[in-house]
Amino acid sequence: MGKMLRHAWWVLMLLVSLGMSIASAADNQLTSDEQQAGFVSLFNGRDLNGWDGDPRLWSVKEGAIRGETTAENPAHENTFCIWRGGTLKNFILRISFRIAGGNSGIQYRSQDLGNWVVSGYQAEVENSPGKVGFLYEERNRGWMVNVGDFMIVERDEAGALHKNVVGQIADVKELIQEDYYKDKDWNEYTIICRGNHIVHYLNGFQTIEMIDNDARERSLEGVLALQIHAGPPMVVEFKNIWLKPLPANFGMSRRLFNGVNLDGWTGSDEDQRKAWTAKDGILATSGSPSGYLRTVDDFTSYILRLQVRHLSTGNGGIMLRIVGPDKVWPRSIEAQGQFQAMGDIWNIEEFPMKVDSSRTDGRHTVKRHPTNEKPVGGWNEYQMSLDGEDLKLQVNGLVQNTASACWVTPGKIGLQSEGSPMEYRNIVLIPIETERK
C-alpha cells in the first residue's frame, strides 16, 4: 500500500471512529498534545453509545463503563461488551481499568461469536501483581505469554503448536517492586499490534512481547471487547479508551538476534568478532576495539525495537541504512547510544536527510527533551522507525527525535563498539511494506 493510500485509510478510520464516539473533555483526555496525535476516543464517558453488551450486567457509572455481577444477577458464562465502531488491525490502544476482585480482560483482534461472546487475544485484568499484564487467548490457544516473557508462537511441520520463551523483557520481581500495578486503583494498559507482533504495557512498564507465527490460529484483525468473567460476584470498570489506528502496512516481524550466537551478523573487521559475545539472550560488546557488528541482510523501511543497557557511562550507538564499504564509520544514520544522549541523531558521511536546524550543530542533532534514560545497569527500550523518508527515535516510550527526507535505500543495521561495554537484547525488526510496482 503506497503512502497516499495508507494516509487515506488512516483518515477514513479516524472519521469512522469520530462518528461513533465524541470524546468527553472532562474524563477522556491524554496527557499531552504529542500523546493525543492520531488518537480518537471510543467511549464518551456518559453512556454505552457504540458499545453492545448484556444490559443486565453493563452500565455507565461515574464516567466509566461498569461490568457487575451479583449472586442474584450472575454471568452464566464469560460475557463481553463489544465496541461496534469497527475492527482493530494495526493499532495502539490505551485504556484505563479498575478491578477490586474477580477476573476480567480486554479482548482485541477478537472474533464475534454472537450473543455477546468473543474469542481471541486478551490482556489480563485482575487484582494480582505478577499476573495482571499477561496475554491469554479466550476459547482458542489459552495461556500465551506470562508477565516478563518474550515468546514466539509457531507450529512445526506436523502441525503441533509450540510456545517458546525466547527472552526476558522484564523481571517480574522488579516490576512488582516498582509498583507496575496499582492495587484496586486505576491502571492504564497500552496494547500495540503491528502485523504478527504484540506488546503490552501496564502503567508504562512493558509486561509481555510476542511474535505470533502461528498462521493457522493467529488473528491479524478483529473486534475490541471488555470481559465479565463467569464465577463469583465481581465489579470491573473501564474508562479513557483511546485508539490510534496505525496506517503502515506491517509485514511479519522477526528477531535479528537469536539469543545464542552471531548468526546473521558480521563484524566491520576481523577484530570485531572478538569484541562481541552472545549468551543467555544478551548480545554484549566490550567496547574495544572501535568498530561495529552489522547485519548480513539489507533493510529499507521498518521499525527496529531493542533493549539496551550501559555498563558504564560510555559511548555506543545503532547505525541505520549503512551503505558502502565497512570502515569506521560508514555512511549511515546513527541513533546515538551514548549514555544520557540516547535519542540524539548523528549524520555519518553526509547521509541525505533533513533535521531540525535549531537543534543541530554540524552532524549532530540533539534530542527534543531532557534525557529519560535509566541509570547505568538499567534496561532502556529504544525504538527506531524508518518509514520511507521519515525517521523517528523513541526512548522509553518518549519520541525524542525525528528527521525527514532521509535517503530511501536498502542498508545494513549496525551496533557500535565505541569504547564502552554495552548489552543488547530482544532485537526485533518489524518490516513496513511499501507499494509494489
The CA angle 120-44-84, to the nearest 5 degrees, is 35
pLDDT at 18: 38
- The DSSP code sequence of 298-354 is -B-SEEEEEEEEESSS---EEEEEEESS--SS-EEEEEE-STT-TT-EEEES----B
pLDDT at 265: 97
Q: How confident is the model at residue 25 (pLDDT cuts 50, 70, 90)?
A: very low
Q: How confident is the model at residue 37 (pLDDT cuts 50, 70, 90)?
A: confident
Backbone angles phi, psi at 5, to 5 degrees: -70, -40
What mean pLDDT, rounded, does the chain reach? 92
pLDDT at 436 over 50: no
The full length of the chain comes to 437
Q: CB-side exposure of 86: number of CA atoms within 13 Å?
A: 19
What distance, in Å, lies between the first and last C-alpha atoms of the chain?
10
pLDDT at 406: 98
> Partners of 79 in the beta sheet?
228
Hunting for cell 457509572 — which residue is that?
A: 61
Q: Which domains does the chain have, with CATH numbers?
A: 3-250 (2.60.120.560), 254-433 (2.60.120.560)
Strands 422-433 and 302-310 come out as antiparallel
More confident residue, 306 or 31: 306
Per-residue pLDDT tens for 164-199? Answer: 999 999 999 999 999 999 998 999 999 999 999 999
d(CA 271, CA 184): 54
Q: How confident is the model at residue 350 (pLDDT cuts 50, 70, 90)?
A: very high
Task: Summarize the confidence of residues 33-43 as an average pLDDT.
Answer: 81
CB within 8 A of 198, min separation 6: which ones?
121, 135, 191, 192, 208, 209, 210, 212
pLDDT at 1 over 50: no
pLDDT at 100: 85
DSSP run (H or E) holding 272: helix 272-275
Question: In 3-state terms, what secondary structure has residue 173?
Answer: helix
> Partners of 279 in the beta sheet?
282
Per-residue pLDDT tens for 421-430? Answer: 999 999 999 9
Q: Residue 329, preceding bond cis, omega within 30 degrees? A: yes
State percent of the chain over pLDDT 70: 91
pLDDT at 35 over 90: no
Per-residue pLDDT tens for 210-263? Answer: 999 999 999 999 999 999 999 999 999 999 999 999 977 999 999 999 999 999
Per-residue pLDDT tens for 322-345? Answer: 999 999 999 999 999 999 999 999
Of 329, 284, 291, 334, nearest to 309 by C-alpha is 284
> Partners of 114 in the beta sheet?
117
Task: Summarize the confidence of residues 290-317 as an average pLDDT.
Answer: 97
